[in-house]
Amino acid sequence: MSFFVLKKEKMFISALMVLTLMVLGYYVQGNLTQPVDVVPTEATADKDKAKDENNKEEKKDGQVILYNSQDDAFIEYRLSRDYERAQLLDELRVVMAGVNVSPEEVAKAKSLYDQVIDVANIEDELEEKIMELGYEDCVYLQVGERAQVILRAEKISTEQYLQIIDTIGEFTGLSHDNIEVSYIKPN
């Protein structure tokens, strides 16, 4: 029984870590995009010269695509969430396959395993539903009876906020008080 108490504490700490990373990403995201200087090298000059001779056309200079830290933030949120979930599922699989594990512990591990899979499916479906409301990107995270959604939006009006929490509340049954909505402005 103490095994599951430790697992719950570990899940809680992991959830706090994920939320901390999300908040850090939100505050840091504006400072990560910096211009990059492009310095031509002899290899690129020779390559460009060869292309010009072959095509006999005037070429435009290349464009530098700046790294978008917002994309990285959304990817990081998803990767962190998925990594924590995968670790938990692996640990539960070990318990379920254990030789010296009681049938009650196996049943509890199986139940928790199913709950984690259900929450993962809910998160994926809700991200799709929220993006169907017209948002470019979003990340939905649910830990127990609390949920957080981070959107890519210029701003969120009161009507949009209510529409989002209503959508989440209808789908999950969560109280509006337990749903946090935040956004990151696009560049």
pLDDT in tens, 44-54: 455 555 555 54
- The reported pLDDT for the residue numbered 98 is 86
87 CB neighbour count, 10 Å cutoff: 13
What CATH number did the domain enclosing 52 receive? 3.30.300.30
- The reported pLDDT for the residue numbered 49 is 55
Q: What is the pTM of this model?
A: 0.57
- Domain-located, residue 6: yes
Question: Is the pLDDT score of 79 beyond 70?
Answer: yes
Three-state DSSP state, 128: helix
Ranking 14-18, 50-54, 183-187 by mean pLDDT, the lowest is 50-54
164 CB neighbour count, 10 Å cutoff: 23
- Domain-located, residue 101: no
- Contacts of residue 7, defined as CB under 8 A and 6 or more positions apart, other chains included, come to 88, 91, 112
pLDDT in tens, 137-180: 899 988 888 999 999 888 889 999 999 999 999 999 999 999 99
Total residue count of the chain as it appears in this document: 187
- Domain-located, residue 160: yes
- Domain-located, residue 104: no
Judge contact between 155 and 184, C-beta under 8 A.
Answer: no
- Domain-located, residue 156: yes
- Domain-located, residue 114: no
- Domain-located, residue 93: no
pLDDT in tens, 161-173: 999 999 999 999 9
- The reported pLDDT for the residue numbered 67 is 42
Distance, in Å, from the CA atom of 163 to the CA atom of 169, rounded to the nearest integer, reads 10
Closest CA to 138 of 126, 155, 150, 124: 150
Residue 146 C-alpha from the chain's centroid: 16
Which residues span the domain enclosing 139? 2-82+121-184
Q: Please state the domain count of the chain.
A: 1
Of 13 and 133, more confident: 133
CA atoms within 13 A on the CB side of 174: 24
Question: Is the pLDDT score of 126 beyond 50?
Answer: yes
Of 53 and 130, more confident: 130
> Exposed/middle/buried for 19, CB within 10 Å: 0-12, 13-18, 19+?
middle
H or E element: which one contains 113? helix 103-132
The whole-chain average pLDDT of the chain stands at 76
Amino acid (1-letter code) at residue 2: S
H or E element: which one contains 148? strand 146-152
- The reported pLDDT for the residue numbered 60 is 43
Judge contact between 173 and 15, C-beta under 8 A.
Answer: no
- Domain-located, residue 103: no
- The reported pLDDT for the residue numbered 48 is 53
Question: Is the pLDDT score of 117 beyond 90?
Answer: yes
- The reported pLDDT for the residue numbered 9 is 65
- The reported pLDDT for the residue numbered 129 is 94
> Exposed/middle/buried for 135, CB within 10 Å: 0-12, 13-18, 19+?
middle
